Amino acid sequence: MLASVLRELEIRAVEERARQAEEERRQAERQARWERAMKEARTAATRAYHAERLREQAARWRETCELREYCAALEQRIANADTPEAPDLAGARDWLEWARAHLDSLDPLQRLPKKPPPPEFNADDLKPYLPKGWSPHGPDAHSSGWRPRWPTS
C-alpha cells in the first residue's frame, strides 16, 4: 500500500514537472511572438512617421511653388505699373522682397532634405500597429485590460 502511494506521488511529481515545463515553453513562445510583434509595430510606426513627414514636406513645397508663382505675378504687375511714382509702388516692392525672403525659409528643398530620425515611441504610439487584442505592455497583458484566469496558449 505504501509503495503504491509513493509511486502515485512520484507519478504526480513527474506530471507536474512536465506541466510546468510545457507552461514555460508556452510562455517563452508567447514572449517571442510578442517581441516579434513589437519589432514589427516599431517598424510600421516608423514607416508611418516618415510618410507623414514626407507628406508635410511635399505640402510645404507645393505651397512654396504656388507662392513663388504669386511673387512672379506680383513682380510682373510692379514692372507694368504706369509710372515709378505710382501709389504704393514702394510698398509693393517691399512686400515682394519680404515674400521672397520668407519663401526661402519655407521651402523644404532650399537645403537637401534627409530622412528624419524616428521619435522614441511609447506604448500608446505602438498600440495601433499591433495585432488586434495585443498589448504593447507585454505578452500576457491585453489591450482591453482583461486577463484570463487560466493559462493560455
Q: What is the DSSP letter of 153?
A: -
Domain ranges of the chain: 2-129
3-state secondary structure of 134: strand
pLDDT tens column, 12-71? 999 999 999 999 999 999 999 999 999 999 999 999 999 999 999 999 999 999 999 999
Which pTM value belongs to this model?
Answer: 0.70
C-alpha 116 chain-centroid distance: 12
